[in-house]
A and B are shown apart, each in its own frame.
Chain A
Amino acid sequence: MMRNSIVVRSTIAVACLAMVCTGCFGGDRSSRALVQNKGSDTLVNVAQAWAENYHSLNPNVGVAVSGGGSGTGFAALINDTVDIANASRDITIEEQEKIRKANGVEALEHTVAIDAVVFFVHASNPLDSISFEQLACIYAEGGTCKQWGDIGTEVPGCSGQEIIRVSRQSNSGTYAFVREEVLGKEIDFKLGSRDLSGSKDVVDLVGTTPCAIGYSGLGYGTDEVKALCIARKTGAACVTPTLATAEDGTYALARPLFMYTLGEPQGAVAAYLEWIKSPAGQKIVSDNGFVPLS
C-alpha cells in the first residue's frame, strides 16, 4: 500500500505540474490588446490571414478568429462578446433589432472584400459555360435536368451521367446568395443536393467526383476543378470569373463580404479595420482568391 500511494501521489504531482506549466507559456499579457473576430466561414480563411499578418506587424495586438457562420458572429454581437462580426450576408432586420435592444447602438456595416461565387465542375468535364437557366434547371425545386445529357454534355468517368449537385448548407450566406441571384428569391433549391458546410469541402468533393457540379468562392479553386463561364441567358456571351471581371462588375455573381461592429469602432478595432481596407490588407484579400475593394 505504500507503493500504491507513491504511485498515486506522483501521478497527481505530474498532473498538477502539467497544469501549472501550460500557464507558463505565452509571455507577458499586460500590454496586449485582443480583438475578437467571429463569424462567417466564407471569410474565416482571409480573416485568419489578416490576423496573422497584422500580428506580425503589431505584436502587441492579437486578433482571435473563430468561424461558426455568419449567424454566430451576429449572435456574439448581440451579446457584446465580440469586437468584429464577419458576415457573408446582410444582417437581418430581426438581428439588427436585437442588437439595438441589447446594446443601444446599431451594428455598423463595413465592406471589406468582394467575393465571386463560382460554379465548378470536375476538370475532366468538357462543359465550359453554363447559363442561369441551365443552373436553375439543375438546382431549383421543380427543375428537370438530372443527367448531364440534359445540358448537352457527356462527362467521361461519370457513371450513369447523373448530375451530382453540390451545394452549401441551407443557412449559409453563399447558399442564400445563389438562391437569390440564380434561382430567383421565391424559388427554393431542389432537395437531395450534397449540402456541405465549407467552401473548401465543396471544391474538394467536386475535384474528386467527375459527375459533380458545385459552387464556392473564387479563392477556393484547385487544379482538380474547372470554373465555369457564366451567361445570364442561354446563348448569350458568358463571363469567366476572374479578379478583374468580379471587380468591374461584368461577372454576374460578385457579392460583398462584410465586417460588422457595434456602432463606430474605437481604438485597436478601428485601427485594424483601417488596415484591412488599406492596400496592405487588400493585398491579402487577393492573395486568398477574393476580390479586393477598388
Chain B
Amino acid sequence: MTDTTSGTPQGQVSIARRISALAEPLIELLIRICGFSAIFFVFGIFFFVFSSGAEFMLHRLEFGEFLTSPEWYPTSVTNKRYGTLALMAGTLSVTSLAMFIAVPFGLGTAVFISEFCEGPFKEGLKITVEFLAAIPSVVWGFIGLAIMNPAIIKTFDAPIGLNVLNGGIILGLMSVPIIVSIGEDALKAVPDTYREASLALGATKWQTVYKVLFPAARSGLLAAVLLGVGRAIGETIAVLMATGHAVQIPSGPLDSVRTLTATIAAELGETAQGGDHYQALFAIGVLLFIFTFAVNLTADLLVRGIRNK
C-alpha cells in the first residue's frame, strides 16, 4: 500500500500503519490457532479420557469379558466382573426404539416442511421444531420420571414405568429435531431442476418426492438419521432418569435397562478416584467415544459423498 494520503501529517499515518502492520499478523496467527482448536479439543478429549483409564485398561482389563459379558459387578468383594454387554444392550435397545419413532416422524416432517409448505407457515413449523430441540435433557428426564412413568403403568398395566419404552419415546422426541433439520438441508440441496423436470414429466409432487428426491438425497437423509443415532447413543441425563437402571438384557420394551452413559453418570461419583472401578468407567467412556466417532465419521463421509457428486 503506497503512501498516497495527502493533507495528513506523515508521522501519524505511519504510526497507525505500523501498529496495524504488527497487529495484523498477530491477529491472523490467533485466528489460525483458533481454527485448529477443534482438532485440539477432540484429540484432547480422547487423550484425557483414555489416559485416565489407561492403566487399568492396558494391564488388568480383559477385553473379551468387557465386551461380551453381561455381568457388571465392579464392586464385588470376591468376584469383580466388568462385563458391559448388558449395558450395551441397554444403549442399543433404547436407541433402536428411539430411531423407530424418530426416523419416520423426522423424515416425514422434513419432507412435509421442505416440499409441501410455504412462507410463514413453513417458518413457523421450523421454529417450532427448533423449540423442540431446545428443551434441555434434564427437563425431558423429568417428564419421563413424573409424567410418562405413571402413564405407562396405567396404559400397559406394566409393573413399572421406567423402562425401555419410556426412555425410547423420550430419546425419539429428542432426536427428531436433528433428523428434521439435517434432512431438510439434504432435501434443499437437491437442485430444483430435478423437481421441475419431474413435474414437467407429469409426476405429482408426492411422486417426485419418493421417486426422485429420496434417491437423490439418499446420503444426506442417511446422514441425518445417523446423526440422530449419535444423539441418542450419547444422551445421558434423560436416560438416567427414565430407563429404570437395571443391569440386564431386556426381553421386551417394558423391561428396565441401563445405558452406557447412565452407568458412568451414576457411578462416577461414588468411586475412589484412580481406583479400578473409576478407570473401568473411563474405559466405558472410551467405548462411547469410539461409537459416536464411528457414527459421526460415517455421516460425514456420506455428506461429503453428496457434495462431491
Contacts and interface: CB of A to CB of B under 8 A. Distances in A.
B72 A71 contact: no
Nearest to B159: A211
Contacts of A78: 273
B72 A94 contact: no
A252 to B, nearest CB: 20
B270 A69 contact: yes
B82 to A, nearest CB: 11
A194 B77 contact: no
A160 interface: yes
Given A171-B75, A186-B77, A208-B149, A74 B245 contact: no
B73 interface: yes
B272 A74 contact: yes
A94 B274 CA distance: 10
Contacts of A195: 245-247, 258, 266
A25 B274 CA distance: 38
A83 B248 CA distance: 39
A169 interface: yes
A149 interface: no
Contacts of A75: 272-273
B34 interface: no
Nearest to A40: B270
Interface string B83-100: 000100000000000000
B78 A192 contact: no
A41 B161 CA distance: 24
Given A69-B269, A192-B247, A209-B153, A159 B75 contact: no
Nearest to B240: A197
B73 A197 contact: no
Interface residues of A, number: 43
Contacts of B258: 195
A173 B153 contact: no
B269 A211 contact: no
B204 interface: no
Contacts of A162: 159
B267 A169 contact: yes
Nearest to B243: A194
B154 to A, nearest CB: 11
A98 B278 CA distance: 15
Contacts of B158: 159
Given A176-B75, A194-B256, A208 B150 contact: yes
Interface residues of B, number: 40
B266 A169 contact: yes
Q: Which of A41, A94, A191 has the most CB of B within 10 A?
A: A191
B267 A171 contact: yes
A68 interface: yes
Contacts of A70: 270
B267 A159 contact: no
A56 interface: no
Interface in A183-225: 185-186, 188, 191-197, 205, 208-212
B257 to A, nearest CB: 10
A160 B270 contact: no
B273 A74 contact: yes
B271 A71 contact: yes
Contacts of B162: 194, 205
A72 B269 contact: yes
Contacts of B108: none
B233 to A, nearest CB: 21
A94 B153 CA distance: 44
B275 interface: yes
B230 to A, nearest CB: 25
Nearest to A186: B78
Given A70-B270, A197-B266, A170 B75 contact: yes
A289 to B, nearest CB: 21
B267 A170 contact: yes
A191 B272 contact: no
B244 interface: yes
Contacts of B73: 170, 188, 191
16 contacts: A70-B270, A71-B272, A72-B270, A75-B273, A78-B273, A92-B275, A95-B272, A159-B159, A169-B270, A170-B74, A171-B270, A175-B75, A191-B73, A194-B244, A194-B256, A209-B159
The 10 closest A-B pairs by CB, nearest first: A69-B270, A69-B269, A75-B273, A68-B269, A192-B248, A171-B270, A211-B159, A71-B270, A197-B266, A71-B271
Interface of A: 41, 67-72, 74-75, 78, 92, 94-95, 98, 158-160, 162, 164, 169-173, 175-176, 179, 185-186, 188, 191-197, 205, 208-212
Interface of B: 70-79, 86, 149-150, 153, 157-162, 240, 244-248, 256, 258, 266-275, 277-278
